[in-house]
Amino acid sequence: MIHPLPLFRAPVILAIAAVLSSSAPKAQQTPAEAVAATRTTIEKYVETRGLVSKETRDWAVGKEALTARMDIVRREIESLQKRIADAEKTIADADRDRAELLAENDRRKAVADQLTAQVVTMEARVLKLLPRLPEPLRTRVKPLSQRLPVAGEENKQSVGERWQNVIGILNEVDKWNREITVTSEVRTLTDGSRVEVTVLYIGIGQAYYAGGNGKVAGIGSATASGWDWRQANELAGDIERAIKIYKSEDVAAFVRLPVQIQ
């Protein structure tokens, strides 16, 4: 609270007036009366001087308090101005960060839209590829392939999960296609009988099987609708030898086998 400037009180003015009035000459005063009047005048003067000194001291104290208060107010103003400047800077930084985040969000959304369009295309191509895969390979990738969405069906998987499915299937296909794989399967012969055979897959496009004590053999190749198996018993010896060479059960040699290309 700011103290008002102290003012001389009314009694000081009255005392000065009394001194002035008492100092005026009066007619017909006795010596005793004159002495008493003089004594009264001096007392009033001393009292007045005391009042003036007191008011002066009060003014000095009030001025010091006012100066201190003004310093406090000035420091408060400076502190408030600093806080306002800091707040304005914080707001500016927040606006800049918000603009950067919005821009980054737009970029990510554009990338996500692009990835979504690409994964939809890849899913369709993988679905067309599945029938061309060998049965053992289709069984291996089934946990992933059955998660591929069919056109028109609702898909609740994230874009990342959909890409994981596609990439997982293609990794397995690539691995199989770069290797020679030997498996044991059951084939249906032309006479309707079923026999267990050993199948030699060359990548994902060609395969040979032999079994039935060397009497049964055949060739398989991938087609758009699935694998096409053709019985070729006359190749049983060559196919069995190729299988044994692969399994290190026979010495390495050149074995001529037919290739069926779709």
From first to last of its 262 residues, the chain has per-residue pLDDT tens of: 444 444 434 444 444 444 444 444 555 678 888 788 888 888 888 888 888 888 888 888 888 888 888 889 989 999 999 999 999 989 999 999 999 999 999 998 998 899 999 999 999 999 999 999 999 999 999 999 999 988 767 788 999 999 999 999 999 999 999 999 999 999 988 888 999 999 999 999 899 999 988 899 999 999 989 999 999 999 999 999 999 999 999 999 999 999 876 6
Query: Rounded to whole angstroms, how far apart are CA atoms 230 and 235?
Result: 11
Query: What angle separates helix 159-177 from helix 31-129, to the nearest 10 degrees?
Result: 40
CA-nearest of 221, 261, 212 to 240 is 212
Whether the model pTM is above 0.85: no
Backbone torsions φ then ψ of 30, nearest 5 degrees: -80, 160
Tell me the helix, strand and coil percentages in the chain, rounded to 5: 60, 15, 25
